[in-house]
């Protein structure tokens, strides 16, 4: 059963050659590592599908909502009823507004459609060590995947209590989960938004709560003034978000004047060359005042998608020449 | 050393680590994600059982290189290929060298060996990758990665006795039985 090496090539020699090769590949950097890692995904990806399905199912089940007390449940029910009422009123207003907007766009507007291809993908593997937050996804360059392409969740949206008939299903891409950091022929490496190396220019969308209004500082006629946040002055706050290497994102140096609160949303910019749409990335969970910079706060953001149970995704590839990003760092 | 069964076992462990192993990973705010390095358990097992030091180093190199090929993120924007293979080879050779001085069948000794192995191997890897990182790594980030490696070592050490017991059951498939007096090992 043991493999014997030819007489002249002793094991010591072989070891010396292999160790030297390691030193050489270390100095070659991404020129050696990217193609070899892409090749390594071929033997792992086919058999990784079923265990990854089990892992996602388990994580999805284990990461469920925590237990709540009877009082909390009652309060939530009351709040739900109130919100449902508000939602109905808002949806009526929205339909009216959307009708007007459609007419206006049709008559005077520019075409705002985002020419892109949505490539359905599936997570078939993960990072073996906990230092990085990446996943291996099903389709690679052969299906049109490109480095830098944004990756979103893929969800089936339905409120039908019974089994769906074919043709009735609606698929939605509700939140950003990461970007493609390298692409091989049949698989690609998805860098999650929580990875330390993930960075994106994004925006904060502040939610307006009539029961708990917030004040923001604005500049009017070269003078600062405090105002209540309203739909009219609720501009999106441009920020730079980075993965924290664990389970969230960090947004540094946000002005206290913007009065960002837990519950606000982090969304993508509409002028992002790879994804010309504003979709959710996560929700602000913590606002921490920076001791070094008194006028600024640091935001901790929890991703909207359950990244541990991530399974089905869309890779968004802009149609045409589109933006180009290098995979060699 | 039976190399073909060893490589098949390596493939299975790597597949488990990259898929089902996610279940064992948990996140902390201070350290980040913490998970076990299952290949380290296999590396220590092989280093404790093989006949020659060169076999231990070769097996370590193969394990480290396989891990190197699957790790694509961590310290910087570029993760170079090679440091994990080098450090695993060194680690396995080190375990082989010290094994005669240890009561290697004791559970606590095994766990301690795995802990030290993980710490040494991952400290070397984190340091090398931080040095090779194209965009540079800050001291705070480097310190956090070392702490993460320490936590990984402790977590792997906790799982090590179970893993080593399992591997001991299939020992004959991957390591040829030693001949002579050392067959029983030291207890």
Helix (H, G, I), strand (E, B) or coil at A8: coil
In a domain, B54, yes or no: yes
Query: Helices (DSSP H) in B19-138: which residue ranges?
Result: 38-49, 53-70, 83-98, 107-132
* Cα-based angle B30, B35, B38 (whole degrees, multiple of 5): 155
Q: Whole-number mean pLDDT of chain A?
A: 81
B35 interaction partners in chain A (CB closer than 8 Å): 129-130
Q: Which of residues 107-166 of B touch A (CB under 8 A)?
A: 126, 128, 132, 134-135, 141, 144-145, 148, 152
pLDDT for the residue A64: 56
* Cα-based angle B45, B47, B51 (whole degrees, multiple of 5): 115
The domain of B59 spans: 3-22+37-172
CA dihedral B98, B104, B108, B110 (to 10 degrees): 70
| A1: confidence class by pLDDT, cuts 50, 70, 90 | very low
Strand partners, A225: A218
The whole-angstrom separation of Cα A308 and Cα A60 is 7
Residue A167 structure tokens = 């043709």
Q: How far is A3 from chain B (nearest CA, A)?
A: 6
Whether B142 contacts B130, CB under 8 Å: yes
Q: How far is B66 from chain A (nearest CA, A)?
A: 8
In a domain, B82, yes or no: yes
| A284: confidence class by pLDDT, cuts 50, 70, 90 | very high
In a domain, B186, yes or no: no
Pick the residue from chain A with its C-alpha nearest to B88: A19
Cα A104 off chain centre by: 32
Query: A112: exposed, middle or buried (C-beta count within 10 Å: 0-12, 13-18, 19+)?
Result: exposed
| B90: confidence class by pLDDT, cuts 50, 70, 90 | very high
- B49 in A contact zone (CB under 8 Å): no
In a domain, B180, yes or no: no
Q: Which of residues 240-299 of A touch B (CB under 8 A)?
A: 244-247
- Least confident range of A7-16, A186-195, A254-263: A7-16
Whether A243 contacts A198, CB under 8 Å: yes
Residue A178 region by backbone torsions, left for phi larger than 0, else alpha for psi between -120 and 50, else beta = left
- As a whole number of Å, the end-to-end CA separation of chain B is 23
In a domain, B150, yes or no: yes
Tell me the pLDDT tens digit for each residue of A105-160. 656 655 456 677 888 888 888 888 888 888 888 888 888 888 888 888 876 655 55
In a domain, B29, yes or no: no
Give Cα separations from A72 to A62, A212, A284 (angstroms): 21, 19, 22
Choose the closest CB to B25 out of A15, A30, A130: A130
B134 interaction partners in chain A (CB closer than 8 Å): 29, 329
A136 interaction partners in chain B (CB closer than 8 Å): 18
Helix pair angle (B139-169, B107-132), 10° resolution = 140
Q: How many domains does chain B have?
A: 1
Residue A321 structure tokens = 């020449």
The whole-angstrom separation of Cα B124 and Cα B144 is 14
Tell me the pLDDT tens digit for each residue of A152-205. 887 665 555 555 555 454 555 678 999 888 888 888 888 999 988 888 999 999
Is 50 exceeded by the pLDDT of residue A248? yes
Residue A22 structure tokens = 């390691």
pLDDT for the residue A124: 85
A189 interaction partners in chain B (CB closer than 8 Å): 72
A27 interaction partners in chain B (CB closer than 8 Å): 80
DSSP category for residue A142: G
Q: Which of residues 204-243 of A touch B (CB under 8 A)?
A: none
Q: What is the DSSP string of A276-304?
A: -S--EEEEEEEEEE-SS-TTEEEEEEEES
In a domain, B76, yes or no: yes
In a domain, B99, yes or no: yes
Query: Helices (DSSP H) in chain A: which residue ranges?
Result: 11-28, 30-62, 70-108
- A181 in B contact zone (CB under 8 Å): yes
Q: How far is A314 from chain B (nearest CA, A)?
A: 20
- A57 in B contact zone (CB under 8 Å): no
Pick the residue from chain B with its C-alpha nearest to A328: B78
The whole-angstrom separation of Cα B146 and Cα B119 is 9
């Amino acid at each position: 059963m043991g493999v014997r090496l030819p007489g002249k090539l002793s094991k010591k020699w072989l070891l010396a050659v292999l160790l030297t090769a390691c030193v050489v590949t270390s100095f070659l950097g991404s020129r050696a590592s990217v193609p070899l890692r892409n090749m390594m995904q071929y033997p792992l990806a086919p058999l990784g599908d079923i265990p990854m399905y089990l892992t996602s199912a388990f994580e999805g089940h284990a990461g469920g909502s925590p237990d709540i007390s009877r009082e909390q449940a009652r309060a939530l029910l009351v709040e739900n009823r109130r919100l449902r009422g508000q939602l109905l009123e808002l949806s009526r207003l929205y339909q009216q507004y959307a009708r007007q907007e459609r007419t206006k766009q049709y008559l005077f507007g520019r075409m705002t459609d985002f020419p892109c291809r949505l490539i359905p993908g599936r997570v078939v593997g993960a990072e073996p060590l906990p230092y990085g937050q990446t996943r291996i996804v099903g389709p690679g360059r052969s299906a049109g995947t490109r480095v830098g392409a944004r990756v979103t969740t893929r969800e089936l949206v339905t409120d039908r209590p019974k089994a769906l008939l074919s043709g009735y299903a609606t698929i939605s891409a509700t939140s950003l989960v990461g970007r493609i950091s390298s692409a091989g022929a049949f698989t690609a490496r998805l860098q999650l938004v929580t990875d330390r190396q993930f960075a994106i220019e994004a925006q904060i969308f502040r939610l307006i709560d009539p029961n708990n209004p917030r004040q923001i500082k604005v500049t009017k006629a070269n003078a600062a003034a405090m105002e209540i946040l309203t739909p009219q002055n609720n501009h999106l706050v441009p920020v730079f978000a980075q993965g924290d290497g664990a389970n969230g994102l960090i947004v540094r140096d946000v002005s206290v004047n913007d009065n960002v609160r837990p519950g606000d949303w982090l969304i993508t910019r509409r002028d992002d060359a790879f994804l010309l749409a504003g979709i959710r990335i996560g929700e602000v969970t913590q606002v921490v005042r920076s001791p070094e910079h008194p006028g600024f706060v640091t935001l901790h953001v929890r991703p909207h998608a359950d990244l541990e149970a991530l399974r089905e995704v869309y890779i968004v590839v802009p149609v045409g020449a589109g933006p180009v990003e290098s995979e060699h760092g | 050393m039976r190399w073909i069964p060893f490589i098949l076992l390596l493939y299975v462990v790597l597949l488990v680590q990259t898929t089902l192993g996610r279940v064992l990973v948990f996140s902390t705010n201070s350290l980040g994600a913490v998970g076990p390095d299952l290949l380290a358990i296999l590396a220590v097992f092989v280093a404790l059982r093989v006949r020659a030091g060169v076999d231990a180093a070769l097996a370590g190199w193969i394990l480290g290189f396989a891990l190197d090929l699957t790790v694509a993120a961590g310290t910087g924007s570029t993760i170079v290929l090679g440091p994990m293979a080098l450090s695993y080879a060194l680690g396995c050779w080190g375990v082989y060298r010290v094994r005669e001085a240890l009561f290697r069948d004791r559970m606590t000794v095994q766990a301690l060996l795995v802990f030290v192995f993980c710490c040494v191997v991952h400290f070397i890897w984190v340091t090398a990758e931080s040095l090779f990182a194209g965009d540079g790594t800050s001291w705070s980030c480097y310190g956090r990665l070392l702490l993460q490696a320490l936590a990984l070592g402790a977590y792997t050490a906790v799982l090590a006795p179970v893993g080593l017991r399992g591997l001991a059951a299939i020992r004959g498939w991957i390591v040829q039985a030693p001949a002579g007096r050392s067959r029983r090992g030291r207890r």
